[in-house]
């Protein structure tokens, strides 16, 4: 580290000095040019009352804390088309739909464009208002469909589907 006044290399700890209103880190020789600044270590104002409280770790909600329906159902891949067709069938605008399901217009637009998958609560509201089926039972995972193997016995070759080129054999 070098002195901010003379530019020489500082051996040891630098001195924090206020020279003409500026706080500078300087060498021992240049520390006589100003007043030595001693910084008080105080916690930020937002954290002062919290110093004696232990921090609580944030946890993701487990599937046990979710409603049973949220765990058993999922949104189909063509949800965006279902929402758009249901809304148009009822002659509603996106704004009307947003007001009825008590959601922002931008969220409804993203759902209809397929950029956002609705959560369980929004899907239930859309089902109720649009009279469409948005929640379907979960499909079985790949591991459960495979017979004779355990999930721990899977290899990459078991999961990957290979595309084979049709080779024309010459006689």
Does the pLDDT of residue 11 top 60, yes or no? Answer: yes
pLDDT at 157 (0 to 100): 65
Q: Hey, what are 29's tokens?
A: 């020789």
> How does the average pLDDT of the chain come out, rounded?
76
Arithmetic mean of pLDDT, 140-160:
58
Residue 144: DSSP 8-state: H
CATH topology of domain 68-137: 434 Repressor (Amino-terminal Domain) (1.10.260)
Q: Is the pTM of this model over 0.85?
A: no
CA separation for the pair 76, 82 (Å, rounded): 9
Strands (E), the chain: 15-19, 22-26, 35-36, 73-74, 136-137
- Chain segment 19-77, per-residue pLDDT in tens: 888 888 888 888 888 888 777 666 666 555 555 555 555 555 555 555 665 567 788 88
Residues of the chain with CATH 1.10.260.40: 68-137
- Chain segment 131-142, per-residue pLDDT in tens: 888 888 876 654
């Amino acid at each position: 580290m070098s002195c901010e006044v003379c530019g020489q290399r500082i051996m040891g700890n630098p001195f924090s000095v206020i020279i003409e209103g500026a706080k500078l880190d300087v060498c021992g020789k240049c520390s006589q040019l100003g007043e030595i600044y001693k910084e008080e270590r105080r916690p930020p104002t937002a954290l002062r009352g919290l110093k004696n409280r232990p921090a609580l770790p944030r946890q993701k909600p487990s599937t046990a804390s979710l409603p049973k329906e949220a765990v058993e159902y999922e949104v189909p891949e063509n949800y965006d088309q279902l929402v758009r067709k249901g809304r148009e069938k009822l002659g509603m605008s996106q704004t009307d739909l947003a007001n009825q399901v008590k959601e922002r217009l931008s969220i409804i637009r993203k759902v209809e464009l397929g950029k956002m998958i609705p959560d369980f609560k929004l899907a239930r509201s859309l089902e109720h208002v649009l009279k469409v089926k948005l929640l379907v039972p979960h499909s079985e995972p790949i591991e459960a469909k495979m017979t004779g193997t355990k999930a721990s016995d899977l290899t990459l070759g078991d999961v990957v589907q290979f595309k084979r080129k049709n080779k024309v054999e010459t006689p």
